[in-house]
Chains A and B, each alone.
Chain A
Amino acid sequence: MASEYLVEIRNLTYAYGPRPVLVNIDMAIPRGKVVAIMGISGSGKTTILRLIGGVIAAQRGEVLFDGQKVDPRARAQLYRQRRRMGMLFQFGALFTDLSVFDNVAFQVREHTDLPESMVRDLVLMKLHAVGLRAAHASMPGELSGGMARRVALARAIALDPALMMYDEPFTGLDPIALGVTANLVRRLNSALGITSIVVTHDVAEALKIVDYVYYLSQGRIVAKGTPEEMRANPDPLVRQFVYGQAEGPVSYQYPSRPIAEELGV
């Protein structure tokens, strides 16, 4: 029953409104690997994470988590599945009314009956893993952006999930914090035996730490492969993204009439 893949997405189509955001997506996330979903803003990366987490339901196709269908309508089953998933939100989404310690302890207290002394050991261990044990008494408002994200990471892994999802974990970090976070993603993956999905448009950093890449453009997977394969990919669409060129098949202009027509010349 246990397949090689922890998450499988089959022929999935999703639309928020009339226009589909994702079209016929097929994806397989192997156990124990770090997989990146890359693409420019608005290409549907976050939407994929929301589908895996069961926040929204696909109009067509299915998402399998550990062989079991993710279905937002089957609430009890979904909540059981979510206990085995962790999600790192872009800005951390720490509970602002709880201390760092209580944030990390949140899931432990909600889902287990562990005595407070064990909760304490567990929380400090997780904070230690992200290098922030000393900050356990702080409030989230006192942390820098990078620290808040690491605390959120400690909170997400508090109950040792099988799958970690990172939504743009590198955005808005200074180069040092960025390197620290990237290493952390990789290190936690091996240390805890997690499977990780990293959604990002930070190509350079992602290609250094991931095992496999899906490249998404306008709701379709246009390329996939190992980082080496991506770097060597001759497709101009991929080259433009990987090497960060302004000119190429993807225009930075919002789709519009030609400028000459707009100006009436």
Chain B
Amino acid sequence: MMFGRNALSLRGIGAHTIDALWRLGYATRFLGLTITHSGTSLRRPRLIIREIYYTGVLSLVIILVSGLFVGMVLGFQGYHTLQTYGSESALGVLVALSLVRELGPVVSALLFASRAGSAVTAEVGLMKATEQLAAMEMMAVDPIARVMAPRFWAGVISMPLLAAMFSAMGVFGGYLVGVVLIGVDQGTFWSQMQAAVDFREDVLNGVIKSCVFGVAISWIAVFEGYDAPPTAEGVSGATTRTVVTSSLAVLGLDFIMTAFMFQGV
């Protein structure tokens, strides 16, 4: 009896693993197809620009507002901690480094996944469910080249730009709280920040992170839409999976990349 149940759950785990691996392989093949079918988008940049508007520009408000608030909170918390050691002058450094290295790329990626990633999945899933993709295919137009690739590249391009704006807004928020509200010296705030933030070590690493997140989120969002079962439940399930999977992917990738980047130090 015991043995039977163990065997069953073992088999269940095996089946799940095989399913997951199969899906990963399928998604990888899809990514390969998307990249090799990007010629249309490169020849007609308008296709990408249009999608950048829908994914990037429409995410701008939430990114800017969140950046401002995260920066302001950093200002309060940072000041509170630094003050204990009498080093309030380092507030600018703390705010800038936290944002550029970690919070900027990660938080903006999480926001981007739930704002734009879910929208892309829902849109592509609905296009599939209403046979728009099939119709396109019958009109001798490849949906991967015409629909998937522009959305994928738009996400890849938008993500680092949004992360940069998030960080800039965050630094401004930290300045508002630290300098304007609490009264940390303006000169030290900026000059310490300029001195301590290294372009290659900090800024570039942050940009690399957000580029990787951009690829991951766009890939997951477009693939989930393309792969969604063509029903209402199918599309809503795929949308949820996009948000959950890409959020986890962002956090996991962030850990791995941070570990590698610190190893180099």
* Residues of chain B contacted by A85 (CB below 8 angstroms): 138
Interface residues of A (CB under 8 A from B): 53, 55, 79-80, 82-83, 85-87, 89-91, 93-97, 106-107, 110-111, 152, 155-156
Q: Could you say which of B132, B134, B140 contacts A95, with CB atoms under 8 Å apart? A: B132
**Which residues of B lie under 8 Å from residue A86 when comparing CB positions?**
138
Q: Mark B154-178, 1 if CB is under 8 A from A, else 0.
A: 0000000000000000000000000
B130 partner, pick from A80, A91, A156, beta carbons under 8 A: A91
Chain B contacts of A53 at CB under 8 A?
138
Nearest Cβ on chain A to B128's Cβ, whole angstroms? 10
Contact B140 A79 (CB under 8 A): yes
A87-B135 in contact (CB<8A): yes
Minimum distance in angstroms from A172 CB to a CB of chain B: 15
What B residues does A90 contact at CB under 8 A?
A: 131
Please name 20 pairs of A and B residues whose Cβ atoms are closer than 8 Å in the assembled complex, sorted by A.
Answer: A53-B138, A55-B137, A79-B142, A82-B137, A82-B138, A82-B140, A87-B135, A87-B138, A89-B131, A93-B131, A95-B127, A96-B130, A106-B139, A106-B141, A107-B140, A110-B139, A110-B140, A110-B141, A110-B146, A155-B139
Interface residues of B in 100-138 (CB under 8 A from A): 123, 126-127, 130-132, 134-138
Q: Say how far A77's CB is from chain B's closest CB, in angstroms.
A: 11
A55 touches B140 (CB 8 A): no
Cβ distance B60 to chain A, nearest Cβ, rounded Å: 20
Q: Which residues in chain B, 172-204, are within 8 Å of chain A measured between CB atoms?
A: none
Partner of B134, one of A83, A93, A96, A107: A93
Listed residue (A89, A90, A91) with the most chain B CB atoms within 10 angstroms of its CB: A89
- A206 to chain B: closest CB distance in Å? 22
CA distance in complex: A83, B140 (Å): 6
Tell whether, in the assembled complex, residue A93 and residue B132 are in contact, meaning their CB atoms are under 8 Å apart.
Answer: yes
Contact of A93 among B130, B141, B146 (CB under 8 A): B130
State A51–B134 Cα separation when bound (angstroms): 13
Closest-CB distance, A96 to chain B (whole angstroms): 7
Q: How big is chain B's contact interface, by range? A: 10 to 19
CB distance from A262 to the nearest CB of B (A): 30
List of A residues within 8 angstroms of B140 by Cβ:
79-80, 82-83, 107, 110-111
**Complex CA–CA separation, A53 to B135 (angstroms):** 11
Q: Which residue of B lies closest to A156 (CB)?
A: B139
A91 to B129, CA, bound (A): 11
Bound Cα distance A107, B146 (Å): 12
Min Cβ gap B34→A in Å is: 16
Are B134 and A55 in contact, with the CB atoms below 8 A?
Answer: yes
Contact A96 B126 (CB under 8 A): yes
- Are B135 and A107 in contact, with the CB atoms below 8 A? no
**Bound: A155/B131 CA distance, A:** 15
Which residues of chain B come closer than 8 Å to A96, judged between CB atoms? Answer: 126-127, 130, 132
Q: Report A-chain residues with C-beta under 8 Å of the C-beta of B131.
A: 89-91, 93
Distance of A97 from chain B, by nearest CB (Å):
8
Q: Once the chains are docked, how many angstroms separate the CA of A89 from the CA of B167?
A: 48
CA of A123 to CA of B139 in the docked complex: distance in angstroms? 16
Q: Which residues of A contact B135 (CB under 8 A)?
A: 87, 89, 93, 95, 152
Closest CB-CB distance, A52 to chain B, in whole Å?
A: 10
For residue B150, give the distance in angstroms from its CB to the closest CB of chain A.
12
Q: Nearest-CB distance from B126 to chain A (Å)?
A: 7
Instruction: Tell me the bound Cα distance from A90 to B137 in angstroms.
Output: 16
A217 to B264, CA, bound (A): 70
Q: Which residues of A contact B146 (CB under 8 A)?
A: 110
Chain B residue at smallest Cβ distance from A107: B139
- Would you call B138 and A107 a contact (CB within 8 A)? no
Contacts of A110 in B (CB 8 A): 139-141, 146
